[in-house]
Structure 1
Amino acid sequence: METVSPLEKALRALALTLVVVFFMFPIVWIFLMSFQTNETILRIPPTVIFEPTLSNYTALITGKLTTAAGTLDIAFMKNLANSVFLSVTSVALSLVLGVPAAYAFARHKFRGSEDIAFTLLSFRFAPPLLVLLPLTQYFQWMGLANTYIGLIWVYQLICLPLILWIVRGYFEDISADVEYAYRIAGHSWFATFRKIALPLAGPGIAAAGLLAFIFAWNNFIFALVLASADKQPVTVGALAFVTSSGIQYGQIAAAIVLSVTPTLALALYAQRYLVEGLSLGAVKG
């Protein structure tokens, strides 16, 4: 067994500490900014010693933003609720549609299947600005502009291809012999899919769903153009903090903390499934 010298251990610990500090510093600094006023944030040189205040969070929760030009009404909590509703609904719909489709592409090879799968994936490659103008015109013609249904529909361009291709790989890594043996016992295709394939690919499905949720949560351009203020998510609602009297850095930092909290809590809760899902299929043979 190879022994590690004390010097090597110290160097490894130092390197790990530097990496953690490098990646965690922006998060910690934004968290500290959320408890400071604009005057404290813009102080030169900056300092970590300050008198904390909850005014930034109070402004977000009450919807009253006090600036040099007066008091502005903001709908940050409404935007936050919109983000939760749009992301959860979009991912749920994508899982309902994408998981069976991924299983079909993985188990049933037919003529043109690869072309169809690649076409669906190409929706993820296309930049949003490429499809934004025709989508806007179609939505206005169909009456879907500025509606939750329209936003959830367009969010499928983000979530569905991602879930389809990721979950398809997990189904392909599962041995088909297990399902075949279950089918021989007299069970239907749907029962095999529900009782065998889904449990075995569960961690992969959870990982794909979490990644799709993060991408949907961070979407900006679709909601900016296709929705009005009362239906916009938090990524667009944050523009309200850029006012005529200046940029409200404290409120922006508090908004970042509040908007990151749901995705962070979900990632921590699903951490075990995420690790299992991302490692599923890493070793074949």
Structure 2
Amino acid sequence: MTRQQAVQRVLLAAAAALLLIWTVFPFVWIILTSLKNPGDIISVPPKFMFTPTFDNYAALVLGEQRGQYASSRPDFPLFFLNSLIISIGAVLLSMIAGVPAAYALARFRFPLKEGLAFLFMGFRFVPFLAFVIPLYLLYQKVGLYNTHLGLILAYQLITLPFTVWMLRSFFLEIPQEVQEAATIDGCSWLGVLTRVILPLSLPGIAVTVILGFMFCWNAFNYPLMLAGRQTFPVTVGAIQFISYEQILWGQMAAATIVAALPQLALSLMVQKYIVRGLTMGAVR
């Protein structure tokens, strides 16, 4: 190894270490904040050595904090349950509607097919304000404001275009000959889809479901405008720890950590499918 190569490796390692610190440090700081008591959180300079406490996590479940800082708290378990209901419902609805749409755009021939496909993707480019104000007025009239169903339908603006485009690309990677062989054996288009295309596209479906779930779980703008206290998800529920009296940094940090756990657990459980799905079709 030459001196120049050694210097390049050292610089590359240093750059990678700096990038890792830049990426991981905010998450580490949130974890540390969630384990501090109020006095340690606001200390100047910041404390890196302190006696950890789980009172902030207990406050999320019990609805109140222990000791001298006891007071009422937002109903975080309800917010967490709302996020589960809304995110799972939105992803399930987008898959039910998106799978046939993606298959049609991938395999069928009809006029303006490419234009229709781009129209689906175009919904991802439009600012949310273009949708949220009409939705707010409509939901107030039809009774969908502050309901799980209303948020599930609104989230289709996030998940459905993404689902259609992702699955369309995965379906296109399956050789046409496979579909033709199934058709010769007597399968209808629905049989080809359910018996051939979907099983072969499981990695792509898995990564689409996971990413769609994450988009829904992390959504903030739509629930902020279209939900009430009974249907707030965790993203909006976390800011309920900010009041005119005080900012409960410890509880907010603990809520952030707890809210990140489902996404982390889901990603680890299906990690191999994510890798296969994201690289599907990269090498022929």
Deviations 1:42-76 (A, max 9, x none): 21222221011111011111112579896123111
1:95 is aligned to 95
Q: Distance in 1 between matches of 2:48 and 2:13?
A: 26
User: What residue identity is the alignment partner of 1:28?
Assistant: V
After the TM superposition, which of the residue ranges 7-16 and 205-214 deviates more from structure 2?
A: 7-16
After the TM superposition, which of the residue ranges 113-122 and 142-151 deviates more from structure 2?
A: 113-122
1:35 is aligned to 35
Q: How does 1:62-101 map to 2 (within 5 A)?
A: 62-65=62-65, 71-101=71-101
2:194 is aligned to 194
1:253 is aligned to 253
1:273 is aligned to 273
1:174 aligns with 2:185: no
Query: What is the CA-CA distance between 1:11 and the residue it aligns to?
Result: 5.6
Query: What is the CA-CA distance between 1:200 and the residue it aligns to?
Result: 1.5
1:160 is aligned to 160
1:219 is aligned to 219
Residues 65 and 74 in structure 1, CA contact (< 8 A), matched pair in contact too: no
Q: TM-score of the superposition, structure 2-length normalised?
A: 0.92
Residues 86 and 152 in structure 1, CA contact (< 8 A), matched pair in contact too: yes
1:185 aligns with 2:185: yes
1:26 is aligned to 26
1:57 is aligned to 57
Query: What is the CA-CA distance between 1:123 and the residue it aligns to?
Result: 1.7
Q: Distance in 1 between matches of 2:250 and 2:172?
A: 48
Query: What is the CA-CA distance between 1:126 and the residue it aligns to?
Result: 1.3
Query: What is the CA-CA distance between 1:10 and the residue it aligns to?
Result: 5.7
Q: Distance in 1 between matches of 2:65 and 2:59?
A: 5
After the TM superposition, which of the residue ranges 63-72 and 153-162 deviates more from structure 2?
A: 63-72
Query: What is the CA-CA distance between 1:6 and the residue it aligns to?
Result: 7.1
Counterparts in 2 of 1:70 and 1:244: CA distance versus 1, 3 Å: farther
Query: What is the CA-CA distance between 1:117 and the residue it aligns to?
Result: 2.0
Q: Distance in 1 between matches of 2:249 and 2:176?
A: 55
Query: What is the CA-CA distance between 1:18 and the residue it aligns to?
Result: 3.5
Q: Please give the root-mean-square deviation of Cα atoms over the aligned residues, in Å.
A: 2.1
Q: Where does structure 1 lack aligned partners over 5 or more consecutive residues?
A: none
1:143 is aligned to 143
Residues 68 and 245 in structure 1, CA contact (< 8 A), matched pair in contact too: no
Residues 67 and 245 in structure 1, CA contact (< 8 A), matched pair in contact too: no
Identity %: 41
Higher strand share: 1
Q: Where does structure 2 lack aligned partners over 5 or more consecutive residues?
A: none
Residues 79 and 237 in structure 1, CA contact (< 8 A), matched pair in contact too: yes
Deviations 1:155-191 (A, max 9, x none): 1111100000111011111111111012112222222
Equivalenced residue count is 281
User: What residue identity is the alignment partner of 1:236?
Assistant: V
Residues 55 and 66 in structure 2, CA contact (< 8 A), matched pair in contact too: no
Residues 31 and 257 in structure 1, CA contact (< 8 A), matched pair in contact too: yes
Q: Distance in 1 between matches of 2:67 and 2:216?
A: 31
1:134 is aligned to 134
State the SS of the aligned residue for 2:124.
helix
Q: Distance in 1 between matches of 2:65 and 2:127?
A: 34
Counterparts in 2 of 1:175 and 1:137: CA distance versus 1, 3 Å: same
Residues 241 and 248 in structure 2, CA contact (< 8 A), matched pair in contact too: yes
